[in-house]
Amino acid sequence: MMKEKLKALSIKSWLGIVFIFLFLFYYPFWVTPYFLHLTVIIIMYAVLSSSWDFLARTGQCSVGQAGFFGIGAYTAALLYIHFKIPPILGMFAGGFLSIFVSIILGYLCLRMRGIYFAISTIAFAEALMVFSLMFRSFTGGAMGLSVPPLFEGNRIPSYFLIFSLLVCVLFFVVWAENSRLHFAFASIRENEDVANILGINPTKYKILAFMVSSFFTGFAGGFYVHYTTFIIPYDVFGLHISIACLIMPILGGLYTILGPVIGTLILMSLTEYLRVTITYGHQIIYGIILVMVVLFLPQGIVGLWKQSVGSVKSLLLNVTSHEVKL
């Protein structure tokens, strides 16, 4: 099905795709360090929100993504400080430890549904924050941990690293969207009991989604600590990270391929713009915009786009329409 759709793309849209890739490749060489830094952080948040959305496809709303983010960050930092493990291996270690934790947490918490799962994930992240504050000799407590800058402070390779991570996440998303997984996830989200009667093991698929989601979140955490060189528990385990993970996909469009990325791009740019232009009270405007979006754009930006723009563009945004030609 994917192949058919790729064939259906016109030369014009192929040119567009090539152009976008060239642009993304040369982008870091053109912009100022400030914009490059902002871009890296935006892409990192895009990874977080896309991986949150991957789990959300099974109908599970996690408000504890910060837990995995922090696990990844602390794992990468501690491995570097104590064993001089190279940063990239440390990021992988953070990702794999997150998978391991997600399996245990999944078996304990994914039997709960809706709001109860959400609450238990908040508790998970908050517990880790308290833990990292208490074990001062191990985690540095509120003093935090510091590591030398990634790639000797050169932001360009960092850009390509986090960008590849985003491509990997999107690869998983496209795979889930175009395979039998899509039907498993969507039916569990719609009605878990009926999915069960139709031969789908809900726990299995929910844990699978949780594993994928937490791996990328953990990896991004590892990247964050090496990129910013310094973390304190509140920075990585804080509720603001978990909330950001779910607000951005909601703004961009839930269960779509590019929705979370677009949501992140818009929300982060807006935050930064407001922060620079309105010194005091920029968060009030930010809040008002969020309320407006939830009230008037329940389908998100991608949903709005799909309603108004023709098929080629919506195809690029979401390859989900499974209509049949008879």
Q: Which residues contact another protein by CB under 8 A?
A: 1, 178-180, 183-184, 186-187, 190-191, 193-202, 322-324, 326
Using the minimum distance from each CB to another protein, give the nearer residue, 3 or 12: 3
CB of 248 to another protein, least distance (A): 22
* Contact indicator for 250, 263 with CB cutoff of 8 Å: yes
* DSSP annotation string for 120-182: HHHHHHHHHHHHHHH-HHHH-GGG-EE-PPGGGG-HHHHHHHHHHHHHHHHHHHHHHHTSHHH
In angstroms, give the least distance from the CB of 174 to another protein.
14
Question: What type of residue sits at position 210?
Answer: F
CB of 97 vs another protein, minimal distance in Å:
30
Residue closer to another protein, measured from CB, 214 or 314: 314
Give the nearer residue to another protein in terms of CB position, either 170 or 181.
181
* Closer CB to another protein, 12 or 180, in the complex: 180
Q: Give the nearer residue to another protein in terms of CB position, either 64 or 202.
A: 202
Burial class (CB in 10 A: 0-12, 13-18, 19+), 299: middle
Query: In the complex, what is the shortest distance from the CB of residue 317 to another protein, in angstroms, rounded to a whole number?
Result: 18
What is the rounded CA–CA span in Å between residue 323 and residue 140? 55
Which residues pair with residue 146 across a beta bridge? 230
What is the radius of gyration, based on Cα positions, of the chain? 20
Please state whether 59 falls in left (phi above 0), alpha (psi between -120 and 50) or beta.
Answer: left
Least separation in angstroms between CB 190 and another protein: 4
From the CB of 201, what's the least distance to another protein, in Å? 5
Measured from the CB atom, is 164 or 201 closer to another protein? 201
Which residues in the chain belong to E strands, given as ranges? Answer: 145-146, 230-231
Do the beta carbons of residue 285 and residue 278 sit within 8 Å? yes
